Amino acid sequence: MSAKPKSWDLAPEALSKAQAKGELMRLAMEIGEHDKHYHQDDAPIISDADYDALRQRNEAIEALFPELVQQDGPSGRVGAAPSEKFEKVKHAQAMLSLGNAFDDEDVADFRTRIAKFLNLKEDEVLELTAEPKIDGLSASLRYERGELVLAATRGDGTTGENITRNIRTIDEIPQQLNMDNPPPVFEVRGEVYMDHGDFAALNERQQTDDKPPFANPRNAAAGSLRQLDPNVTAQRPLKFFAYGWGEVSALPADTQEGVLKALSDWGFQINPLMSNDDSLEKTIRTYKTIGDQRVELGYDIDGVVYKVNRLDWQERLGFVSRAPRWAIAHKFPPEQAQTLLEDIDIQVGRTGALTPVAKLKPITVGGVVVSNATLHNADEITRKDVRIGDTVIIQRAGDVIPQVVSAVMDKRPKDAVPFEFPTRCPVCDSHAVREINPTTGKEDVVARCTGGLICAAQAMERLKHFVSRNALDIEGLGNKQVELFWEKGAVRTPADIFNLADKIKTVDLEPLETWEGFGETSAENLFAAIDERRSIEFDRLLFGLGIRHVGQTTAKLLARTYGDWASFRTAMRAAGDMESEAYADLVAIDGIGPVVAAAMADFFSEPHNEEVLLALETALREIKDAEQPASESPVTGKTVVFTGTLERMTRSEAKARAESLGAKVSGSVSAKTDILVAGPGAGSKLKKATELGVTVMDEDAWLELIAGS
Ligand code: IVH
């Protein structure tokens, strides 16, 4: 008898819809966790290639089952939420991200997809512009009647930060558009960056001023632009390439190339290497030419961006969740260098995961000084047979954390011995074990400290997680402060944070405002920020508890399912008994597998956690009920069927647009159908819809209905 294959072993094409749904949930959870390891902890546990593979699988499944795409899934998330320091700006048009191509074949597929979507004829010419992908940070500049009135960072794509005062200090950005009769509104979008010469000079100044150097030009540009004091920005030479636009009252041309030419006339820098190519061969040639010039450019680029030149086609192609269908970034291969592996450090994370970190003899890779690199886990060290004393090849790709690729065997010292992965936690000396995954039956790749909260490293990491951006998000309470409060013994559990002033007294410390680095105002601000979070969203609180396998997506799903905290808590108390109905209800939730359910049951049946939760609930003022997804368009939640010939769009275009507005598109008419869009030649479906009393409209009426959504 052969075992039934698990969903995650199946190719996307082989998945049923139900399996695909489960897979997307699982991938969202896994990718979310890795994003956190990478962005918040700076300690990824898998290689970039493995991470990319997860994302690619996610995208492949989404492409096959567009109706299952979740707004807050991995493909819908862009960058980081805006910081609290700057005033927030809601973008008139979202600032999105780009899909990636890693080789020529991906570029060929990109062209094919476009041709198919637009239903282009064999001999129709498809032009793609190509320009360097600048490694800086994007900004949106709003001009009203030709005057710069507002500038914003991308933020989370919807809301950015108001950086107008800082942007005004950049010479390459005009305060006024150089043109007669400027349009009422024109938002220019592009990349703010720092060139290599200015970066080196800035780091030299940092050194003389006894300040830490920036790791790379991109960080330097970001740090400079996000200065609260624009005078500081003014002393940091930043540059700007325009590559696109946001809200506009009128466009000066009907091609990408044409608009960029106009932007150049109006006073912007556009990249001189930009080209417009009418075949795959020419596009690939441009990619190579730009790649060959990469080292001499004097600024960092990490790929080439291709865009459909015709704007009417861009419009028709539209977007899929996080990225336009009409553009793609063709990435350059990663950069490598060799250096000495001086030591291997073991770091302990929030869930007890022991992560090996390579301590390297500092070396410059692609302009960045690297002294640490991740080794992921014990298996990776064994697989690569990396030993202390080895010369190793390390690799950086874009802004990702450097990785150890392999050891150079010719250079291995005779006395080098295989690395022995510790069996005890380096912080609390508890046993470190590799758990068996209950669903796969395989041993987990990660060794975990079993010390739980008696392990200082775990307890402290959990507190950091609790206050982090996607959890409680307490302004002014970051990793550094948590470490400080921990070391002084003032904070041990989440509730302690909400009783901080009292706790400080209890452990006989001076009041916070007298501590070094605090003062009256910042102590007051911190207490106010903590107080503000006594009213907290259900999903943030749940995510903040740091339960194994419960990432943001799962926390949101659970919050939406249970609705309010009190019902959820009652259900979870009962679910501790895995024979109970409450447990059966929990595993029955679409997207909650046995691993998550078991982790939840474990967490809520542990008496110590109950204690911590009760104290926390007492300290909080309000746990807000989960928000149910609001309907955003006249067709959200409606089931729509298209039939007959569509004249103003292709079928896939119509379907994609309807789905992006929250409608379900079905192939057949039934009593559940809400709208039938019928073009010329409609037959049996139209007849059936009329019989069933389904709303019938033509293509124009449909377009009118969804216009403005
Ligand atoms: S076009 C709708 N063109 O890459 C998205 N982006 O990965 C349009 N970037 O957020 C983006 N150089 O910060 C575009 N020539 C270029 C670019 C470029 C750099 C950045 C930009 C964007 C990110 C997407």
Share of the chain above pLDDT 90, in %: 58
Its pTM stands at 0.56
Range in 306-310, 497-501, 601-605 the model is least confident about: 601-605
**Residue 537 φ/ψ, nearest 5 degrees:** -70, 145
> What pLDDT does residue 207 have?
75
Three-state SS for 280? helix
Among the atoms of ligand 1, which is closest to the Cα of residue 138?
A: 13
Q: What are the pLDDT digits (tens) for 120-154?
A: 998 999 999 999 999 999 999 999 999 999 999 99
Nearest atom in ligand 1 to 324's CA: 2
Report the amino acid identity of residue 14.
A
Q: Which of 208, 315, 207 lies closest to 251, judged by CA? A: 315
Active site (annotated) includes residue 638: no
Domains of the chain: 88-331 (3.30.470.30), 537-624 (1.10.150.20), 639-706 (3.40.50.10190)
Question: 398 C-alpha to center of ligand 1: Å?
Answer: 14
Residue of 188, 243, 257, 276 best suited for mutating to test ligand 1, as the one with most atoms within 8 Å of CB: 243
Name every protein residue with a CB atom under 6 angstroms from any ligand 1 atom: 96-98, 131, 133-134, 138, 154, 191, 243-244, 305, 324, 327, 329
State both tokens at 416.
């080098």
pLDDT of 173 higher than 70: yes
- Report the nearest-CA residue for atom 15 of ligand 1: 133
Residue whose entry in the numeric block shows the structure tokens 């994003």: 35
pLDDT of residue 77 exceeding 80, the answer is no
Indicate the top mutation candidate among 55, 75, 131, 134 to test ligand 1's pocket, ranked by most ligand atoms within 8 A of CB: 134
What angle, rounded to 10 degrees, do the helices at 17-35 and 552-562 form?
120
Q: Looking at residue 5, what DSSP letter applies?
A: P
Q: Any idea what DSSP says for residue 637?
A: T
Check if the beta carbon of residue 638 is closer than 8 Å to that of residue 674.
Answer: yes
Q: Which H or E element spans position 303?
A: strand 301-308
Q: Whose CA is nearest to atom 6 of ligand 1?
A: 133
Give me the pLDDT at residue 40, please: 45
pLDDT confidence band for 235 (50 / 70 / 90): confident
Q: Say how far apart CA 264 and CA 461 lie, in whole Å.
A: 49
- DSSP per-residue codes, 120-140: --TT----EEEEEEESSEEEE
Mutation test residue for ligand 1: of 97, 102, 328, the one with most atoms within 8 Å of CB: 97
Distance between Cα 307 and ligand 1 center (Å): 10
Each residue's pLDDT tens digit, 602-653? 899 888 889 999 999 999 999 999 877 656 788 988 889 999 888 888 888 8
Residue nearest to atom 16 of ligand 1 (CA): 133
Atom of ligand 1 nearest to the CA of 133: 12
Q: Atom 2 of ligand 1 has which residue's CA nearest to it?
A: 96
Tokens of 526: 């911190």
For ligand 1, atom 17, name the residue with the nearest CA. Answer: 133
Q: Name the pLDDT band for 75 (thresholds 50, 70, 90).
A: low
Q: 21, 85, 121, 133: which is the annotated catalytic residue?
A: 133
Q: For a substitution probing ligand 1, which of 138, 193, 259, 309 has the most ligand atoms within 8 Å of its CB?
A: 138
Give residue 211 CA to ligand 1 midpoint distance, Å.
31
Categorize the per-residue pLDDT at 41 as very low, low, confident or very high, splitting at 50, 70 and 90: very low
304 CA distance to ligand 1 centroid (A)?
A: 10
Task: Give the distance (Å) from ligand 1 centre to CA of residue 696.
Answer: 41
Least confident among 16-20, 316-320, 506-510: 16-20
Helices (H) and strands (E) in the chain, counts: 25, 26
Residue 508: how many other CB atoms lie within 10 Å:
7
Closest atom of ligand 1 to 319 CA is 2
Q: What is the DSSP letter of 210?
A: T
**3-state SS, residue 220:** helix
Q: What's the pLDDT band for 366 if we cut at 50, 70, 90?
A: low
Mean pLDDT of the chain, nearest integer? 88
Ligand 1 center to 331 CA (angstroms): 12
pLDDT at 47: 64
Q: Cα of 189 to ligand 1 centre, how many Å?
A: 9
> Which residue owns the Cα nearest ligand 1 atom 9?
133
Q: Which residues pair with 639 in a beta bridge?
A: 664
**311 close to 81: Cβ distance less than 8 angstroms:** no
Burial grade of 303 (CB within 10 A; 0-12, 13-18, 19 or more): buried
Residue of 91, 98, 194 with the most ligand 1 atoms within 8 Å of its CB, for mutation: 98
Closest atom of ligand 1 relative to the 271 alpha carbon: 15
Task: Report which ligand 1 atom has the smallest distance to the Cα of 244.
Answer: 1
pLDDT of residue 508: 87
**Residue identifier of the C-alpha nearest atom 12 of ligand 1:** 133
Please name every residue paired with 323 in a beta bridge, in sequence order, or none if there are none.
320
Distance from the alpha carbon of residue 238 to the mean position of ligand 1, in angstroms: 17
- Predicted pLDDT at 216: 79
Mean predicted confidence (pLDDT) in 85-101: 91
- Per mean pLDDT, which of 39-48, 205-214, 357-366, 617-626 is the most reliable? 617-626
Two tokens, residue 263: 């932007």
Identify the pLDDT of residue 205. 84
Instruction: Provide the pLDDT for residue 591.
Output: 78
Distance of CA 98 from the midpoint of ligand 1 (Å): 7
The full 3-state SS of 455-520, as one line of letters, equals CHHHHHHHHHHHHCCCCCCCCCCCHHHHHHHHHCCCCCCHHHHHCHHHHHHHCCCCCHHHCCCCHH
> For 324-351, what is the mean pLDDT?
93
Read off the pLDDT of each residue in 305-315 and give the average, rounded to a whole number: 97
pLDDT value at 170 more than 60? yes
Residue nearest to atom 13 of ligand 1 (CA): 138
Q: What is the DSSP string of 389-420?
A: T-EEEEEE-TTSPPEEEEE-GGG--TT-----
Contact assessment for residue 135 and residue 399, using Cβ atoms and an 8 Å cutoff: yes
Q: Measured in angstroms, how far is the CA atom of residue 561 from the centroid of ligand 1?
A: 37
Strand bridging mode 99-101 / 327-331: parallel
> What residue's CA is closest to ligand 1, atom 23?
97
Closest ligand 1 atom to residue 78 Cα is 10
Q: What is the mean pLDDT of residues 191-213?
A: 85
Whether pLDDT at 38 is above 70: no
The residue to mutate among 191, 257, 400, having the most atoms of ligand 1 within 8 angstroms of its beta carbon, is 191
Ligand 1 centroid to Cα of residue 366, in Å, is: 20
> If you measure from the C-alpha of residue 97 to the centroid of ligand 1, how many angstroms do you get, rounded to a whole number?
7
**How far is ligand 1, taken at its centre, from the CA of residue 400, in Å?**
17
Give the residue among 32, 13, 41 at the shortest CA–CA distance from 73: 32
Spatial neighbors of 502 by CB under 8 A, at least 6 apart, are: none
**Tokens, residue 660:** 């992006």
**Helices within 161-299 (DSSP H only):** 164-167, 196-208, 217-225, 230-234, 256-265, 280-293
Question: Which phi and psi angles does 443 have, rounded to 5°?
Answer: -75, 135
372 forms beta bridges with: 359
8 Å CB contact between 320 and 117: no
The predicted pLDDT at position 81 comes to: 47
Q: What is the pLDDT of residues 442-495, one digit of tens each?
A: 888 889 998 887 899 999 999 999 999 889 999 999 999 999 999 999 999 999
Q: What is the pLDDT of residue 367?
A: 65
Q: 397 pLDDT exceeds 70?
A: no
Ligand 1, residue 135: give the atom nearest the CA: 19
Q: Whose CA is nearest to atom 18 of ligand 1?
A: 133
